[in-house]
Amino acid sequence: MKKILLSPYTKLVKEHHDMWKTLRKKGVIKIPLPLYRALYIYKKWLAKKLTVRAHKKTGRFLSLHIDTYTACNRKCNFCFNHDRFPSKKQGIMSEAMWIRIIDELADMGYTGKLSPYYYGEPLLDKRLHRLIAYAKKRLPLCFIQINTNGDLLTEERLLELIRSGIDMLKVTDYGNMGIPKDTPKSKISEQSKRLKYLAEKYPLYIYLRSWKEINLMNRAGAIFKRNNPRKNESCQRPSCQLIIDWEGNVILCCNDYYSDYKLGNITEDSIINIWHTPQLQKYREALESGKREAIKLCAGCDCIGILDKNYVLW
Ligand SMILES: C[S@@+](CC[C@H](N)C(=O)[O-])C[C@H]1O[C@@H](n2cnc3c(N)ncnc32)[C@H](O)[C@@H]1O
Ligand code: SF4
Ligand code: SF4
């Protein structure tokens, strides 16, 4: 017990000493730091335990993506936002729908990972801190994470998000990827410096990587074709991860960019009913037994089907 609790606590205190002091000074943390840090570790431990237990007992999802804002300011060449792909219907999820989803999750006691983004750039959404604050209030144990290109990330915005209850920003430095060719080099290097500065100052909240470090997937065969090593591999994504698009459709997987595989809509049925719908169950059975070819979307997909527990559960 001592080993499990003390080791992450020591890391949290020692390695992030300056960050804690800054957050306390800026009024982001209002209670004494030792108490805050102890609560932080305890909540993470509890959330993980409850999430895994619910998944094992009822087959409930471990993580979910909610597409709150579809647009992105970049057009990376390994992403559906690139010009070579037909654009899909763009939109913004209404706050009423967001509240409805969060309330439903709170009613079922959801404690897993919550990701309010999909193929858009979440920092373009000016409501983001408000959406996160509501989610954190109703789902205090959930781990809330966004992935972002960091183009709009300033220290002020970051502190606003931390105050709202965000747990992690996975920031990818895309350099000159997907932006106009005439963008000055100085602007790109300033951006990299800013992201590095923020990641070093707030190490617990920012995980920074370069786009070159992305383990690129072919997004169900759409982004690039290659000799598919995972053709007959089991895929458990639809058994672990729930995806809701901006119009409230529950879709098969995070590679279903165009929402072709709609399993239900949250304005017409409960999330949990849709999660257990027979059609989705049929897909799961095929995919778990490695029959990717049985589903058109999945036939050419090279995505790793067994989700890394650390990815799913922070
Ligand atoms: C689609 S993006 C949306 C969020 C945000 N705009 C961003 O880029 O972080 C979500 C995540 O997918 C990653 N990504 C994009 N294309 C990918 C690909 N072909 N394979 C694997 N990951 C990819 C991005 O780096 C990002 O971390
Ligand atoms: S920044 Fe993210 S969402 Fe936008 S094009 Fe690049 S990978 Fe896609
Ligand atoms: S095989 Fe690929 S497209 Fe199909 S559910 Fe799994 S990850 Fe998604």
Q: What is the pLDDT of residues 253-307, one digit of tens each?
A: 999 999 999 999 999 999 999 999 999 999 999 999 999 999 999 999 999 887 7
Question: What's the gap in Å between 123 CA and the centre of ligand 2?
Answer: 12
Mean pLDDT of 8-20: 87
Contact of 241 with 63, CB cutoff 8 Å: yes
Instruction: Return the ligand 1 atom nearest residue 81 CA.
Output: 1
Question: What's the gap in Å between 294 CA and the centre of ligand 1?
Answer: 26
Question: What's the gap in Å between 234 CA and the centre of ligand 3?
Answer: 9
Give the burial string for 262-288 (b: 16+ CB within 10 Å, else e).
bbbebeeeebbebbeeeebeebbebbe
Q: Is the pLDDT of residue 1 over 70?
A: no
Mean pLDDT of 73-84: 97
This prediction's pTM: 0.95
CA distance 235 to 287: 5
Quote the pLDDT of residue 4: 55
Q: What is the mean pLDDT of the chain?
A: 94
Residue 179 CB–ligand 2 contact under 6 Å: no
Q: Which residue has the tokens 């408000």?
A: 130
Mean pLDDT of 188-214: 97
Confidence of residue 308 (pLDDT cuts 50, 70, 90): low
Work out the angle at residue 174's Cα, subtended by the Cα atoms of residues 92 and 144, and round it to the nearest 5 degrees: 50
Confidence of residue 229 (pLDDT cuts 50, 70, 90): confident
Quote the pLDDT of residue 5: 57
Confidence of residue 227 (pLDDT cuts 50, 70, 90): confident
Quote the pLDDT of residue 312: 59
Q: Is the pLDDT of residue 9 over 90?
A: no
Instruction: Return the ligand 2 atom nearest residue 78 CA.
Output: 7
Mapping DSSP onto H, E and C, the string for the chain reads CHHHHHHHHHHHHHHCHHHHHHHHHCCCCCCCHHHHHHHHHHHHHHHHHHHHHHHHHHCCCCEEEECCECCCCCCCCCCCCCCCCCCCCCCECCHHHHHHHHHHHHHCCCCCEEECCCCCCHHHCCCHHHHHHHHHHHCCCCEEEEEECCCCCCHHHHHHHHHHCCCEEEEEECCCCCCCCCCCHHHHHHHHHHHHHHHHHCCCCEEEEEHHHCCCCCCCCCCCCCCCCCCCCCCCHHHHEEEECCCCEEECCCCCCCCCCEEEECCCCCHHHHHCCHHHHHHHHHHHCCCHHHCHHHCCCCCCCCCCHHHHCC
Instruction: Return the ligand 3 atom nearest residue 252 CA.
Output: 5
Q: Which residues contact 302 (CB under 8 A, 6 or more apart)?
A: 217, 218, 221, 226, 228, 229, 230
Q: Is the pLDDT of residue 11 over 90?
A: no
